[in-house]
Homo-oligomer: A and B are copies of this chain.
Amino acid sequence: MPDTSRAHALELDARDPLAGLRKRFRLPAGVIYLDGNSLGALPDDVPGALDDVVRQQWGVGLIRSWNDADWWNAPTRVGAAIAPVIGAAPDQVVCGDSTSVQLFNTMIAALRMRPGRNVILTDPATFPTDAYLADSVARLCNAEVRRVPAAEAAAVLAADGADIALAAYNHVDYRTGELRDLAGITAAAHAAGALVLWDVCHTAGAVPIDADAHDLDFVVGCSYKYLSGGPGAPAFLYVARRLQQDFDPALTGWHGHAEPFAMESGYRPADGISRGRIGSPPLLNMLALEAALGVFAETDMAAVRAKSLALTDLFIACADELGLEVATPREHALRGSQVAVRHDAAHPIMAALIDRGVIGDVRPPDILRFGFNALYVSYADVVDAAAVLGDIVATGAHLDPKYAVRSTVT
């Protein structure tokens, strides 16, 4: 029987090797923040860094900052800072644009790298934008989207993989928090002659991805969740070095040109990961992200993962005690960094939680999501949040009509 007492949680906090990192984030008073899987908390380094970017680099440096502040290389420089977080050696990650744009661009490039194959394999429960863009790419490229659950993907690749150009999966199910078999699907895809594209939006910064070790081909992720880059922080793209010279994307923007300032009339892609650049990057967002990434140099993903699993173990134990239905797998190997609780009253319960300072979110039809960023969530947060949740469910506080209105986003 796990110890879910507050005293035990405080003990765990006292010996938590990552506890010192919490002060690197500005957490508002009176809030337990369990929605860092949707928008990470504000890193303490960001406001000052952004002040400098705005007032000095933009305000005083003006156009000169493209050189003097090295704005030009921000997409590859920030990409290089993301690389160790996803287990990538240098020169394989570029930062920019949105996840949607990166997925689209990369799926087209992947189809072009597998001529004679025309199937994109993806999960019927993939994140919506991944599904929409796979369909759009298929329409543009005369390809076909075959929807196979992640659990069956390796078998389908082995049995019927000859037409499959690309297996495009999420590292984690955004609703249940179930972690997919990244290594197994990748190996099966490669055995079938296909490429893989992993969407790691819900794991980058929380779960080791080991892109190089697993021989991944393409990885796309966002940076505003566990990387805490801020609202609308740009996405990133990993292209394995061995594939870069054949990477032939659709979005041939001038920043990806071999000599952008030669202003040539025809496109010649840059060597290496720079050809993943498209147009002018959103520098305020990108440089805020750069500041946010500093904290990752002070820890490693194994430590982050260990604490994340301990936090989610504890929350699952609390939910069990409350008699709630946990939709997230209990096996560590199948768990991301969130816990999903299934409840018919998910929306009003979350509204009541937020009203009491415990912030998570909901996903249709009946999932309460609680995300645990090990860099700033404490064990005490876990038991305190569970206590509030338990009180709401026990007292029926969520039945108050004021919680019946659904918000747009959370």
Which residues on A are within 8 Å of B, measured CB to CB? Answer: 26, 28, 31, 33, 35, 38-39, 41-42, 46-47, 50-51, 53-55, 57-60, 62-67, 71-72, 97-101, 104, 108, 124, 127-129, 131-133, 135-136, 140-141, 222, 224, 230-235, 250-255, 257, 260-267, 278-286, 288, 354, 359, 361, 363-364, 407-410
Knowing A42-B59, A252-B133 touch, does A359 contact B64 (C-beta < 8 A)? yes
Which residues of B are found within 8 Å of A28, using beta-carbon distances? 59-60, 62
Q: Roughly how many angstroms separate A260 CA and B408 CA in the complex, as a whole number?
A: 9
Most buried by B among A64, A127, A141, A359: A64
A254 in contact with B128 (CB, 8 Å)? yes
Q: Roughly how many angstroms separate A136 CA and B254 CA in the complex, as a whole number?
A: 12
The residue that A38 contacts in the complex, of B63, B108, B235, with Cβ under 8 A, is: B63
A252 in contact with B50 (CB, 8 Å)? no
Chain copies in complex: 2
A42 in contact with B66 (CB, 8 Å)? no
Which residues of B are found within 8 Å of A101, using beta-carbon distances? 97, 101, 251, 253, 278-279
The residue that A26 contacts in the complex, of B59, B71, B262, B407, with Cβ under 8 A, is: B59
Given A47-B54, A97-B97, A231-B283, 11 other A-B contacts at CB below 8 A?
A: A28-B62, A41-B62, A47-B51, A50-B284, A54-B288, A66-B408, A67-B407, A99-B279, A136-B250, A136-B267, A282-B285
Which residues of B are found within 8 Å of A38, using beta-carbon distances? 63
